[in-house]
Structure 1
Amino acid sequence: MNDQTGPRVTGLGGVFYVAGDPEATRAWYREKLGVDGEYGPQFAWNDEPKENPYSLVSHFKDDEYIKPGKGGFMINLRVADLDGFVEILKSRDVEVLDTADEGYGKFAWILDPNGVKIELWEQVADETP
């Protein structure tokens, strides 16, 4: 159990990676995913509609789950109404690699213009696992 008082890590601060054209990458995130910020996509927890929102840092023995993404990592982005968002992505000519409903959450996967795999996640349950 985590100590909820005093100095501690409280959540994901960001994901940073090298892009051949940072401005074009920021434009893709803005135009395709609808997220923007001065230095790239920026998210505020108070925008999250679910109670008890959480982020996860997960480790894998190999890169099978991350394929066809490049670079040995993947970005997980929380979304509200995954089904509706997938339809928006398709209308913006974004290829949706796959979708899944795991009971605790719904998922979809896409690639950004740099080949980085993005996992889109709708938290279904209010409680943390």
Structure 2
Amino acid sequence: MAKVTGLGGIFYKVADPEATRAWYQETLGIGGEWGAVFPWQADEAEAYSLFSPFKVATDYFDPSAAGFMVNLRVDDLDAFLVGLKAKGVDILGTQYEEYGKFAWIMDCDGIKIELWQQIGPAPAA
């Protein structure tokens, strides 16, 4: 039987796509004409993506009013945060768990971005 093999993309509406693309390129160093492309790395056998619903009443996406949050993988969270702070980006918080390091920021459209440095293998399915 055919099956889903992974996340193909995240598509969403904003008032000014060009300004949003520019913010992502200048602030996070990602993107292009069609957005950011993240090829799967064959040498990262333990790498994974997560597609996960949350209850409507969750405060995990706060302070964003959007009904979703984007999680972006980073290779060195601490160094990445130093670069963001130098650009004047407000870091909403950080958290370190056995499976990864996390930090949160808001993008130029008020959408919460979760930055994640994976530590260890994917959880059991």
**Aligned counterparts of 1:24 and 1:49: Cα–Cα separation in 2:** 34
- In structure 2, which of residues 93, 96, 105 is the aligned counterpart of residue 110 of structure 1? 105
Which residue in the other structure is 1:3 paired with? none
- Alignment gaps of 5+ in structure 1: 1-5
| CA pair 72-35 structure 1, distance change in 2 beyond 3 A | same
- Match of 1:45, SS state, is coil
- Alignment gaps of 5+ in structure 2: none
**1:77–1:118: 8 Å Cα contact kept in structure 2?**
yes
- Match of 2:81, SS state, is helix
TM-score, scaled relative to structure 2: 0.90
- In structure 1, which of residues 14, 21, 45 is the aligned counterpart of residue 9 of structure 2? 14
The offset of 1:7, in angstroms, is 2.0
Which residue in the other structure is 1:55 paired with? 49
Q: CA RMSD in A?
A: 1.5
The offset of 1:12, in angstroms, is 1.2
**Aligned counterparts of 2:43 and 2:104: Cα–Cα separation in 1:** 21
**Aligned counterparts of 2:92 and 2:26: Cα–Cα separation in 1:** 19
- Match of 2:113, SS state, is strand
CA displacement 1:37-86 (0-9 Å, x = unmatched)? 2211221122x874321000111112310111122110011110011001
Which residue in the other structure is 1:92 paired with? 87
Pairs aligned (count): 122
Which residue in the other structure is 1:36 paired with? 31
**Aligned counterparts of 2:107 and 2:44: Cα–Cα separation in 1:** 26
Q: Percent identity of the aligned residues?
A: 54
**Aligned counterparts of 1:49 and 1:117: Cα–Cα separation in 2:** 30
- Match of 1:108, SS state, is strand
**Aligned counterparts of 1:50 and 1:92: Cα–Cα separation in 2:** 30
The offset of 1:9, in angstroms, is 0.9
TM-score, scaled relative to structure 1: 0.88
